[in-house]
């Protein structure tokens, strides 16, 4: 009986060793083939960003495009958020992504991270980079830029129509004053302001446009305080282009019983009854399209893709219940004139 147990034990030991040997051999073969443990050969995208998610605006729009790429293109996507005031994190995250041999495309944005990328990209000449909301700044960098001044022009025109027609917009006082609140004082913010003022004065050259910076992209309280100051100075409408700080701008508009205009994503739902429109910067769609081109081997490096009113890269989405048809049609007519070149909105970059 003991002899039988010894034989059975010996057989089991031999089988276990064979199983371990086969398992180890399989792992080596798989590693040599360059395939993942799941047998997938996916297109890998790492996205070290210069902002946090949850802004209901710019970064969330970029993240949405990356989610579409994961779902519709079957890409493997890793989003790496960082604070908008932490350039050391941007540098570290970009370098770690670029050094990873499994990463096929490194995606980053927005404008504030452009200088960091310009320093890093040359160190990884064989790694393709995509930066949204900035122009290409390297031979291996594809840029996606937007004519935000065109979208802001539409917002300025609508803001002017609102303050001049208090009979149609009950929260307006007819002050003939509108405002725009940016985050930090950067060129893109000033481009928004140039377009917004031009759009408002297209409707009425005598309108007062109050332009202010909150001094932060991340602090909604600063956005709130800056917007409230503009409202107290007579603004019927406040347009925010301040990222997460802009959520405070919209809150101030609602609490004061005036109007706010959203930015980058559709924010019309955030303060119901007080946000008649949002300027749309189609970061989601343009990022998705670029990732798709990269996966297909068609993304051109060293060039900048431009999103504007003519190709849907910039737009103004209006709440039909808050904006009467006659004013929506006026905005649509202006949009067509911008697309055709009949109207050329002012730009800070032309100054």
Based on the domain organization, do 337 and 218 belong to the same domain? yes
Q: Crossing angle, helix 148-164 and helix 325-340, to 10 degrees?
A: 150
pLDDT at 2 over 80: no
Q: Do 241 and 204 fall into the same domain?
A: yes
Same domain assignment for residues 231 and 297: no
Q: Are residues 81 and 123 in the same domain?
A: yes
pLDDT at 56: 80
Mean pLDDT of 90-96: 97
Alpha helix stretches (DSSP H) within the chain: 2-33, 58-72, 87-99, 114-120, 148-164, 187-203, 220-232, 246-255, 283-295, 325-340
Q: What is the mean pLDDT of residues 223-229?
A: 98
Residue 3's Cβ-count burial label (10 Å; 0-12, 13-18, 19+) is exposed
Contacts of 89 (CB under 8 A, 6+ apart): 82, 83
The residue written with tokens 């300027």 in the block is: 279
94 & 165 share domain: no
pLDDT, tens digit (0-9, with 9 covering 90-100), for 21-33 = 333 333 333 223 2
In a domain, 12, yes or no: no
301 and 164 assigned to the same domain: no
Among 192, 68, 46, smallest CA distance to 130 is for: 46
Same domain? For 111 and 142 the reply is yes
CA 209, CA 227: separation in Å to the nearest integer? Answer: 13
Are 177 and 264 in a shared domain?
yes
Q: For the whole model, what pTM was predicted? A: 0.81
Give the total number of structural domains in the chain.
2
Cα–Cα distances (Å) from 172 to 59, 159, 186, in that order, read: 31, 10, 30
Going by pLDDT thresholds of 50, 70 and 90, the confidence category of residue 8 is: very low
208 and 328 assigned to the same domain = yes
Radius of gyration of the chain (CA): 26
Asked if pLDDT for residue 288 goes beyond 70, the answer is: yes
Residue 23 lies in a domain: no
Lowest pLDDT segment from 14-18, 132-136, 199-203, 301-305: 14-18
107 and 251 in a single domain? The answer is no
Q: What is the pLDDT of residues 104-153, one digit of tens each?
A: 999 999 888 999 999 999 999 999 999 999 999 999 999 999 999 999 99
Are residue 233 and residue 301 in the same domain, yes or no? no
Asked whether residue 1 is assigned to any structural domain, the reply reads no
Q: What is the CATH number of the domain that holds 255?
A: 3.40.50.2300
Tell me how far apart the alpha carbons of residues 231 and 226 are, in angstroms, rounded to a whole number: 9
Same domain membership, residue 327 and residue 264: yes
pLDDT at residue 41 in the model: 82
Find the domain containing 248 and state its range: 148-280+320-350
């Amino acid at each position: 009986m003991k002899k039988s147990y010894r034989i059975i034990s010996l057989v089991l030991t031999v089988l276990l060793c064979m199983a371990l040997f086969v398992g180890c051999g399989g792992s080596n073969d798989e590693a040599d083939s360059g395939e993942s443990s799941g047998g997938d050969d996916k297109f890998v995208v790492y996205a070290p960003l210069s902002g946090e998610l949850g802004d209901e605006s710019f970064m969330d729009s970029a993240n949405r495009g990356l989610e579409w790429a994961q779902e519709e293109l079957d890409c493997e996507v890793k989003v790496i958020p960082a604070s908008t005031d932490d350039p050391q994190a941007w540098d570290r995250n970009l370098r770690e992504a670029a050094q990873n041999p499994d990463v096929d495309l490194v995606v980053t944005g927005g404008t504030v991270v452009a200088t960091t990328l310009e320093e890093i990209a040359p160190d990884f000449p064989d790694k393709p980079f995509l930066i949204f909301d900035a122009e290409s700044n390297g031979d291996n960098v594809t840029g996606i830029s937007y004519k935000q001044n065109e979208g802001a022009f539409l917002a300025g025109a609508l803001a002017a129509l609102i303050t001049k027609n208090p009979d149609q917009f009950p929260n307006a006082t007819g002050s003939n004053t509108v405002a725009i609140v940016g985050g930090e004082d950067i060129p893109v913010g000033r481009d928004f302001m140039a377009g917004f003022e031009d759009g408002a004065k297209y409707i009425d050259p005598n309108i007062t446009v109050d332009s202010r910076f909150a001094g932060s992209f991340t602090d909604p309280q600063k956005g709130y305080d800056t917007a409230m100051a503009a409202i107290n100075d007579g603004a019927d409408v406040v347009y925010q282009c301040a990222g997460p700080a802009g959520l405070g701008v919209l809150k101030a508009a609602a609490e004061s019983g005036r109007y706010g205009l959203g930015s980058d994503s559709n924010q019309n739902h955030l303060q119901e009854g007080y946000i008649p429109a949002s300027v749309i910067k189609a970061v989601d769609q343009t990022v998705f399209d670029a990732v798709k081109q990269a996966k297909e081997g068609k993304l051109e490096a060293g060039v900048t893709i431009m999103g504007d009113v003519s190709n849907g890269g910039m737009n103004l989405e209006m709440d039909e219940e808050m904006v009467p048809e006659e004013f929506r049609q006026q905005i649509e007519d202006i949009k067509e004139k911008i697309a055709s070149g009949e109207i050329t909105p002012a730009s800070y970059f032309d100054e």
